[in-house]
Amino acid sequence: MRRVAVAPRPGYAAKLEAQGLSFHGRDSYWREDACYRFERAQIEEIEAATAELHEMCVAAAKRVIDSRRLAQLEIPPAYWSAIAASFERGDFSLYGRLDLAYDGCAPPKLLEYNADTPTSVLESAVCQWFWLKDNFPQCDQFNLLHERLIMRWQQLPGDGVVHLASLADNEEDWACLTYLMDTLAQAGRGSVQLTIEDIGWDPARQCFVDLRDEPIETLFKLYPWEWLLREDFGPKVLESTTRFVEPLWKSVLSCKGLLAILWEQFPGHPNLLPAYFEQRDLVAYAKKPLYSREGANVELHCAQGNIHKAEGPYGTEGYVYQALQLLPNFDGFFPVIGSWVVAGQPAGMCIREDRTPITNNTSQFVPHYFS
């Protein structure tokens, strides 16, 4: 694994915009003056770790549900039975992204699982693939994401229209949904895009509806469960017949408290870091809110006594304490591996890097390849 300088493609901005990545220039989000080069064996190690970690996470979720420990994850009691039923049914899940610390030498370590609302899917599936074809056509990339998404959509029950919703005025989420609409079309399914704010409730029909007053049969939402379950509309989820993607049981995987459950269930696993619901005796550790986004409110407490902190609005639900695993340092850049899971199987990866050890919402996307 190496960080390699590379010349940007002539006219790359126009290419990215044609592919739908309209926000590539914001905070220099997309970089192609550098990339990461891997060996095939390293990619295979990431792929194998991803498959095993996903299975472990599902097993940990089952442990939490069966032992009635959802309160420990600060999930409101009103939803416990519905979550258990959703898990038991195996409600349809599309995808997720494991964030891994990896330097090419030591085993990949799980930092967290973005199991509910992961973005960066367009740039992972499409933009970096065309970058590879332009720059390194003789090489390969860990990237089956586009094909796997189409195949998974084809397995979605029913044949009705799929609604896709995100918050208004969020360009990144809107681009992500636009791309997913393309994968739905290639899977032979119709789709409607709208904002979360435009979703209504019809009390007579006991269903969620769109702006045309049409029932929402299936809703892909880029809106986290931990927000929805605490809002006025939350209880309507229990009354409705809408299929949610991601499903309700994914609310368990999206809580960072799962890291502590994983360590409890699989102590000493080479792809896990010690993690607890209290600080215990960790000399160096990451203090993470049970629920947070883009590294907000994460604190890294180093053995030397120095602390890295990210500001944000999270932490009221509590924290998990994970043994510190600093991201590797490549020429002053700290990359995190985002390893994609589609239909429970590894499907590719992406890399975001920052000048600080905490990946945040302004961290930059950097393509990769392997020989």
pTM beyond 0.75: the answer is yes
pLDDT at residue 305, as a whole number: 81
Pairing type for strands 364-366 and 162-166 reads: unpaired
Q: Is 75 buried (19+), middle (13-18) or exposed (0-12) by CB count in 10 A?
A: buried
Residue 327 near residue 101 (C-beta atoms within 8 A): yes
For the stretch 34-86, pLDDT in tens is: 999 999 999 999 999 999 999 999 999 999 999 999 999 999 999 999 999 99
Three-state SS letters, the chain: CEEEECCCCCCHHHHHHHCCCCCCCHHHCECCCEEEEECHHHHHHHHHHHHHHHHHHHHHHHHHHHCCCHHHHCCCHHHHHHHHHHHHHCCCCCEEEEEEECCCCCCCEEEEEECCCCCCHHHHHHHHHHHHHHHCCCCECCECHHHHHHHHHCCCCCCCCEEEEECCCCHHHHHHHHHHHHHHHHCCCCEEEEEHHHCEEECCCCEEECCCCCECCEEEEECCHHHHCCCCCHHHHHHCCCEEECCCCHHHHCCCCHHHHHHHHCCCCCCCCCEECCCCCCCCEEEEECCCCCCCCCEEECCCCCEEECCCCCCCCCEEEEECCCCCCECCEEEEEEEEEECCEEEEEEEEEECCCCCCCCCEEECEEEC
For the stretch 143-176, pLDDT in tens is: 999 999 999 999 999 999 999 999 999 999 999 9
Three-state SS letters, 140-154: ECCECHHHHHHHHHC
For the stretch 105-143, pLDDT in tens is: 999 999 999 999 999 999 999 999 999 999 999 999 999
Question: In which band, very low, low, confident or very high, does the pLDDT at 190 lie, cut at 50, 70 and 90?
Answer: very high
Residue 196's nearest CA partner among 217, 167, 175, 157 is 167
Question: In which band, very low, low, confident or very high, does the pLDDT at 358 lie, cut at 50, 70 and 90?
Answer: very high
pLDDT at residue 304, as a whole number: 84
Residue 199 near residue 216 (C-beta atoms within 8 A): yes
pLDDT at residue 108, as a whole number: 98
Residue 251 has pLDDT above 90, yes or no: yes
Residue 361 has pLDDT above 90, yes or no: no
pLDDT at residue 294, as a whole number: 87
Residue 229 has pLDDT above 90, yes or no: yes
Q: Please state which of the ranges 94-98, 264-268, 275-279, 293-297 shows the lowest mean pLDDT.
A: 293-297
Residue 323 has pLDDT above 90, yes or no: yes
Question: In which band, very low, low, confident or very high, does the pLDDT at 19 lie, cut at 50, 70 and 90?
Answer: very high
Q: Delimit the domains of the chain by residue range.
A: 2-255+328-370
Average pLDDT (185-210) is 95
Average pLDDT, the chain: 96
For the stretch 270-321, pLDDT in tens is: 999 999 999 988 999 999 999 998 889 999 999 888 889 889 999 999 999 9
